[in-house]
Amino acid sequence: MFMGVMRSIWRSMKYQEFQGNVQQQGGALVVGPGNELLYSHVDKNSTSHTPINKLLEVAGVLPVSFPKDPRVQSL
């Protein structure tokens, strides 16, 4: 399941144009083990995403780094 999520994230990073309703906001949840909610974030605008390495840290996964990929932005 984790690799499926990572493939979806990578595919979405390939495209620079917006898809769907840009007014619709998302968020991030890290859940588990079981039904334990470890982290919750609701995006306030299109740039208020939780950094991926923060989510990976909460999930107990090693951080990632793409220093030469221009699609990856650190805000």
Which tokens go with 28? 């991030």
Place of tokens 């840009």: 22
Q: Are 64 and 53 in contact (CB under 8 A)?
A: yes
Instruction: Give the 3-state secondary structure of residue 5.
Output: helix
What would the pLDDT profile of 17-64 be if each residue is shown by its tens digit?
666 776 777 899 999 888 899 999 998 887 888 988 999 999 999 988
Distance CA 25, CA 37 (A): 20
Residue 12 pLDDT level (bands cut at 50, 70, 90):
low
Residue 59: Cβ within 10 Å count = 13
pTM for the model: 0.59
